[in-house]
Amino acid sequence: MPTTPATATHTSSNGTAESNGTVEAILLELVDENGVTIGTAEKLSAHQPPGQLHRAFSVFLFDEQGRLLLQQRALGKYHSPGVWSNTCCGHPYPGEAPFAAAARRTYEELGVSPSLLAEAGTVRYNHPDPASGLVEQEFNHLFVGMVQAPLRPDPEEVATTAYVTPAELAERHAKDTFSSWFMTVLDAARPAVRELTGPSAGW
């Protein structure tokens, strides 16, 4: 297996990577309003108010019944711990293709490789997180796909998971806390979600 930044280091929930016993900062790709790379910034500093616009990705995976896989973020994460969110989200390493980053991070967090992973557009948003005081200024690449294997979540990243229908999501969203970006990315991905899951799934 080729050595990549993902396999060479272990990324912790506080935004640093450990390699050979040393702690290295995680760098994000800064972009302009058109998604063109303009530089890099350390992960935590990019999320400090007012936030620096950076590249991100969000993944939405579905089972054979058209149910969306949600994850509850682990309580130890420095950003939005314990909240529910889409299947997987994160940031490409500088120079890493968003598609590759989405597949890599899905496997790292959930222990499963997505099937039929496809691009679903982009969305740009600015979402402050009142609980942490951090800001999500993101140019987000969206992906949809299927999950066709048993999950093996990393407990340092994922507290628990759930498959939901649109009705179950609405019920859960009304009573549980979700990430500040969740509805923005889901709404932006809906056309691709409907194409993937078909009309009967109700998305």
Is 89 tagged catalytic?
A: yes
Asked if residues 85 and 157 have their Cβ atoms less than 8 Å apart, the reply is no
Greatest distance between any 2 Cα atoms in the chain:
51
Catalytic residue among 29, 96, 109, 138: 138
- Options 89, 96, 136, 157, the catalytic residue: 89
Active site residue 138: yes
Residue 116, token pair as written in the block:
């039929």
How many CA atoms are closer than 13 Å to the CA of 120, on its beta-carbon side? 26
Count the neighbouring beta carbons within 10 Å of the beta carbon of residue 198: 10
CA distances from 178 to 7, 86, 119, 175 (A): 30, 9, 23, 9
Catalytic residue positions, numbered: 89, 138
